[in-house]
Chains A and B, each alone.
Chain A
Amino acid sequence: MDAGRTPSQTVGPYLHIGLDWLAAGQVIGTRGDLLITGTVYDGAGVPVDDALIETWQADAAGRYGGLLDDLPLGFGRTATDSAGRYRLRTDRPGAAPGDASHLHVLIFMRGLLKPLLTRVYWPGDPAIGSDPVLQRVPAARRASLLATAGDASQLHWDIHLQGPLETVFMEV
Chain B
Amino acid sequence: MNDKAHAPGPVDAGTQPPYLYAPYVSTRLRAPTRPLLPLPEDAMTTVGPLFGPHAVQRRDSDLTLGGAAPPIGERLIVCGSVRDDRGRPLPGALVELWQANAAGRYRHARDDHDAPLDPNFTGCGRALTDSAGQYRFVTIRPGAYPWRNHPNAWRPAHIHFSLFGAGLLSRLVTQMYFPGDPLLPLDPVFMSTADARARERLTAHFDPHATVEAYALAFRFDIVLRGAQATPFEGA
Contacts and interface: CB of A to CB of B under 8 A. Distances in A.
A133 B13 CA distance: 26
B54 A70 contact: yes
B49 A133 contact: no
A166 B32 contact: yes
A17 B29 CA distance: 24
Interface stretch (A30-38, A84-92, A110-118, A146-154): A110-118
A75 B50 CA distance: 9
B50 A11 contact: no
Chain A contact-residue range equals 35 or more
Interface string A131-144: 01100110001000
A70 B84 CA distance: 22
A1 B33 CA distance: 34
A7 to B, nearest CB: 4
A159 to B, nearest CB: 11
Contact of A9 (B29, B47, B202): B202
Nearest to B44: A104
A70 B52 contact: yes
A167 B38 CA distance: 14
B123 interface: yes
Contacts of A112: 19, 27, 30-31
A128 B194 CA distance: 40
B168 A104 contact: yes
B27 A14 contact: no
B98 A14 contact: yes
B109 to A, nearest CB: 9
A1 B15 contact: no
B198 A7 contact: yes
Nearest to A56: B168
Contact of B108 (A17, A110, A132): A17
B39 interface: yes
29 contacts: A3-B87, A5-B15, A5-B201, A6-B174, A6-B202, A8-B17, A10-B173, A14-B110, A15-B98, A15-B160, A16-B108, A17-B122, A18-B126, A18-B160, A18-B162, A43-B30, A56-B168, A64-B46, A65-B48, A70-B54, A74-B48, A74-B49, A112-B30, A117-B169, A133-B39, A136-B39, A161-B31, A170-B39, A171-B39
Interface of B: 10-11, 15-19, 21, 24, 26-34, 36-40, 43-44, 46-55, 83-87, 96-98, 100, 106-108, 110-111, 122-126, 160, 162, 168-169, 171-175, 189-190, 192-193, 197-199, 201-202, 223-226
Interface of A: 1-19, 21, 42-44, 46, 48, 50, 54, 56, 58, 64-65, 67, 69-72, 74-75, 104, 106, 108-117, 132-133, 136-137, 141, 161-162, 166-172
